[in-house]
Amino acid sequence: MIGTAFAGRPFVGDIAAEQAVRIMTGAVLPPSVDTVVIQEVSRIEGDTLWVPPGQKAGQNTRRAGEDLRAGTPALAAGRRLVPADIGLIASLGIAEVTVRRRVRVAFFSTGDELVSLGQQPTEGQIFDSNRYTIHAMLAQFGVDIIDMGVVADEPARLEAAFREAIEQADAIITSGGVSVGEADFIKQLMATLGEVLFWKIAMKPGRPMAFGRIASGDQSAFLFGLPGNPVAVMVTFYQFVRDALHRMAGVTPLLPVPLLPATCVSNLKKAPGRTEFQRGVLFQDNGAWHVRLTGAQGSGILRSMSEANCFIVLEHERGNIKAGDIVQVQLMEGLA
């Protein structure tokens, strides 16, 4: 043993035959060395190192640049940067990279019956939960959030809110006002300010959802008119708005949240002709995956989402489910 190599302080000098240096993790290998023998299998007596047979050249070493092939991009455009990407960029000594600006999303709730937190509801009014739910979902995406509060069910006020949102945002999300009631004006205003690309979807919950593009002057924005019921808001957001926001942010390719098979532990009612997203709890029993409902599945029962860790996705043409049948589940953990 003729010396030691430390991390940040390389061994200086040549190593001849039948010579070795002690090396610490992270230290640079001396030029004439190609193999590291771990301390646990070696023996040192004085300045003599005993090495057992069976060692291989190159073992316990890391080659400089082994994580990247020369000429290959370290990161391709279209990625949503994750913590490992930031570390990789830093490891290359790069202090700044070019990225897209954040997508700007404006949102508001509609309805004379809604009041924000901090206000006192009167007879016939309720607290607005949708706006706070949407804010929390948007916060997971790293978008710029513009909360426009509650807008009354009056065409003039709604149009003013839309025009204000168009000036500030790339996308607008509303909740409520897309049904067929006399005071549901969102779809009408979409047609006035732009175009409705689709309205009504063969799904439950979330059937009355509108999507289109609206404009004011030379500016425009995509509009997602979500239903008013709290569960329907979350289902349509995760199944439609999520992917759209990723696309607007430049994320490619879009990877769908996978569906996983599980055994349903109870009977489920299902009418053919629509896709249903029932709220469930996925759990393991004897090494196999099972799923159960969270309870009542009404689209106004937000507790059914709060207690769930997955959607039970029942296909368009599927009918009633019997206990023991295999169903597809979509984990909520992967929906950000």
Question: For position 135, what pLDDT does the model report?
Answer: 97
Domains of the chain, start order: 1-64 (2.170.190.11), 104-248 (3.40.980.10), 260-334 (2.40.340.10)
Q: What is the pLDDT of residue 256?
A: 81
Query: Which parts of the chain register pLDDT below 70?
Result: 179-184, 334-336
Q: Are 153 and 109 in contact (CB under 8 A)?
A: no
The pLDDT tens digits for 94-134 are 999 999 999 999 999 998 899 999 999 999 999 999 999 99
Task: Specify the amino acid at residue 150.
Answer: V
pLDDT reported for residue 182? 52
Cα separation, 234 vs 332, whole angstroms? 11
The predicted pLDDT at position 331 comes to: 95
